[in-house]
Amino acid sequence: MTTTDKDRVLIFDTTLRDGEQSPGATMTHDEKLEIAEMLDDMGVDIIEAGFPIASEGDFRAVSEIAKRSKQSVICGLARAQLPDIDRCWEAVKHAERPRIHTFIGTSPLHRAIPNLTMDEMADRIHETVTHARNLTDNVQWSPMDATRTEWDYLKRVVEIAISAGATTINIPDTVGYTAPRESADLIRRLIAEVPGADEVVFATHCHNDLGMATANALAAVEGGARQIECTINGLGERAGNTALEEVVMALRTRGDIMPYDTGVDTRKIMQISRRVATVSGFPVQFNKAIVGKNAFAHESGIHQDGMLKNAETFEIMRPEDVGLAATNLVMGKHSGRAALRAKLKDLGVEVGDNQLKDLFVRFKDLADRKKEVYDEDILALVTATTTDGHADRLQLVNMSVTCGTGGPARAELEMEIDGKEVSATCEGDGPVDATFKAVRELHPNAARLQLYQVHAVTEGTDAQATVSVRLEEDGMIATGQSADTDTVVASAKAYINALNRLLVRRDKAGPGADQREISYKDVS
């Protein structure tokens, strides 16, 4: 590296690109802008905002994020093709600090896809990186599936990319194949043996197929990498990507053996983790490091005794370091609007007057039904998904469900569809099945249920259930989420919410539009 910041590790977040490629994790335009703003605010160095040539929607999102960015570098992804690179530049050029990230698969398996010889691929790398560098002086290049590329060829193409003007060389472990020692050695050898390597930043991009993404990323830093590519909650295809919260907190906590700094404000981790989980429809597992519900919970008597005497006996991090409130149970049915606004502020949530008014009504309703209202209950109310500012065409008015061991479940549903009240009664194999059938009878659709997931927000029999529903119709995917103390009611609301989102996307796309435009699932 040419800079004196050898102890500074850049955080490159690809939640909006690689994370969103997870099947079913598609985010809306407004959700992408919201997550990008949160990433920028928390101090992420580089935000990979999307793949501009993939679709018109991706292009618009990357372009708008670039215009709104305050401090982060805004990066777009492009294949090793001139039209891709030009389209990428058109999107990111609005940023104060734009970057083009171009890639090509260099392993034998990936070279076979475009049917290029080693020499032909080398020529294309030189041509496309040179073209990108003529547009901007901030160019990143990636040899996709680098960890399964022959050493001599990897060394050769990295040298070509550097000589063509790449300023960051990213080494992707695209399929999560490598191990920590290999990850460190690969970076170390490239820096030592490739001419010009000391003049660029080396990055690492790891997948978690063997559960070693975080270990591999940190090992790469030990080997000389100074940029980590990662996602919030480890979101990503298959087993996911390196988790931002894990590498950032590992570097912060173990500075004694990894003396490297990041610019991330770790106190904002929990807030963005919860929001990404909501908009993606991918909940965080309870025992997930750093952001899981149980990450700072202690049930064992020995653990609790130690915690009471000295928290450091069983906690290597403080909950407040990642944005967890020290107190939890302070709200009830006698709490006022000012108290709710103050609680939301403590939880890192800013709301407008109109949203607060709606939240307060739902909070009071919940407080009347629950003995104790927890922080998680309030956040569940806040994060119940909406249709992005559009009026809901489908609304649940009333419902009644009967079920038992003596026969099929029966659901009676009243809905308002485009301003008209309609009702239906259906039987099904359980209350949720009967409810969904009633919704389909009132609003016929061909949407396929990809995911139905129930998660208890807090403890107790009066706990709110958060239900996530993911639907697919004609290539469009929409996720709906709702919370209620009645699981079947939450299920109905989540299902209707997802249908509303599909209607919004269908209206935006217009007749005959193909949401998938090009396939780009298997990129670095």
Nearest to 283 by CA among 490, 25, 15, 85: 25
Ligand-binding annotation for 205, yes or no, is yes
Q: For residue 183, what are the contacts with CB-CB under 8 A and spacing of at least 6?
A: 147, 173, 204, 206, 216, 217, 219, 220, 223
Q: Is 94 annotated as a binding residue?
A: no
Left if phi > 0, otherwise alpha if psi is -120 to 50, otherwise beta: which for 486?
beta
Q: What beta strand segments (E) does 14-92 contain? A: 46-50, 73-79
Running DSSP on this structure, what letter comes out for residue 388? T
In b/e form, how buried is each residue of 162-197, taking b as 16+ CB within 10 angstroms? bebbbbbbbbbbbbbbbebebbbebbbbbbeebeeb
What three-state secondary structure class fits 242?
coil
Q: CA–CA separation, 358 vs 344, rounded Å?
A: 14
> Residue 390, annotated ligand binder?
no
Q: Do residues 148 and 158 touch, judged by C-beta distance below 8 A?
A: no
Report the C-alpha gap between 133 and 358 in whole angstroms.
50
Cα–Cα distance for residue pair 63/75, rounded to 1 Å: 10
Coil/strand/helix, residue 521:
coil
Torsions phi, psi for 59 (to 5 deg): -60, -45
By residue count, the chain amounts to: 524
472 three-class SS: strand
CA distance 113 to 391: 45
Residue 213 structure tokens: 């993404």
Sign of CA pseudo-dihedral 388, 392, 394, 400: positive
Closest CA to 186 of 172, 200, 201: 172
3-state SS, one letter per residue, for 277-306: HHHHCCCCCCCCCCCCCCCCCCCCHHHHHH
- The burial of 383, by beta-carbon neighbours within 10 Å (0-12 exposed, 13-18 middle, 19 or more buried), is given as middle
Quick one: three-class SS letters along 451-495?
Answer: EEEEEECCCCCCCCEEEEEEEEECCEEEEEEEEECCHHHHHHHHH
Q: Where are the beta strands (DSSP E) in 148-278?
A: 168-173, 201-206, 227-230
- Is 321 marked as a binding-site residue? no
Contact 237, 22 (CB under 8 A): yes
CA dihedral 6→213→265→34, nearest 10 degrees, is 120
Closest CA to 500 of 479, 485, 524, 475: 479
* Token code pair at residue 219: 């090992």
Binding positions for Mn(2+) are 18, 205, 207, 241
Binding positions are 18, 205, 207, 241
